[in-house]
């Protein structure tokens, strides 16, 4: 029993010593700033002034009067403890917003007027084709009314092209839809609007 209580007793004594040291350190932190308050400075100034007057009397001759010394007590504003600095908090990171999928070309058919010619064809393609394609009207289409080409050797190497040879509504509407299919972003059938007659 003495062996078990002896280490416990040492631990208790060490704990008490550490507690006393911490309390002394805390007391010193609060008492040291109090020793530099303005009252201590005010009482020291007149003593120094009296000492200077006494020294000037002992060094001066009897015929010369001692110069008048005026001591203006210096006042310093009371020191206030520094304000507590709030710990910065970081706001939670919002969850990433998933990208909104683009609507397939067939949904927006009614927004552009259908008509024959390159001007309506190019306007429709600009509004409904997949991004990244260049448009040609009139363009070479290998004998077809229109074609959509994505990096095909000998036809459109390294490029994405929609070419319109016959600028009828079915041709350019087909190619706008086909551009999404070629990129793998639509499951629509190729040429869903049929053939120009």
C-beta neighbour count of 183 within 10 angstroms: 15
pLDDT at residue 133 in the model: 96
Which helix (H) or strand (E) segment holds residue 48: the answer is: helix 38-59
pLDDT at residue 14 in the model: 73
- CA separation (Å) from 196 to 18, 117, 169, 192? 95, 13, 8, 12
* CA–CA separation, 123 and 13 (whole Å): 90
Most confidently predicted of 3-17, 98-112, 140-154:
140-154
% of the chain beyond a pLDDT of 90: 39
Cβ neighbours for 102, distance < 8 A, ≥ 6 positions apart? 185
38 — pLDDT class (breaks 50, 70, 90) = low
pLDDT digits 0-9 by tens, 95-142: 777 766 665 544 444 445 578 999 999 999 999 999 999 999 999 998
pLDDT at residue 66 in the model: 53
pLDDT digits 0-9 by tens, 166-195: 999 999 999 999 999 999 999 999 999 998
Whether the CA torsion 172, 175, 177, 180 is positive or negative: it is: negative
């Amino acid at each position: 029993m003495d062996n078990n209580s002896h280490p416990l007793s040492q631990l208790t004594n060490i704990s008490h010593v550490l507690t006393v040291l911490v309390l002394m350190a805390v007391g010193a932190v609060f008492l040291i700033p109090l020793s530099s308050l303005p009252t201590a400075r005010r009482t020291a100034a007149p003593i120094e002034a009296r000492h200077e007057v006494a020294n000037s009397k002992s060094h001066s001759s009897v015929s010369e009067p001692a110069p008048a010394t005026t001591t203006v007590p210096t006042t310093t504003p009371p020191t206030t403890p520094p304000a507590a600095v709030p710990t910065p908090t970081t706001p939670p990171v919002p969850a990433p917003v998933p990208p909104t999928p683009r609507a397939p070309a067939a949904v927006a058919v009614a927004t552009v007027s259908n008509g024959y010619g390159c001007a309506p064809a190019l306007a429709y393609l600009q509004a409904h084709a997949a991004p990244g394609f260049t448009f040609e009207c009139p363009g070479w289409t290998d004998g077809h009314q229109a074609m959509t080409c994505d990096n095909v050797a000998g036809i459109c190497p390294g490029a994405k092209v929609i070419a319109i040879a016959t600028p009828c509504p079915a041709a350019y509407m087909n190619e706008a839809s086909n551009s999404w299919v070629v990129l793998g972003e639509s499951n629509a059938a190729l040429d869903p609007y049929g053939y120009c007659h």
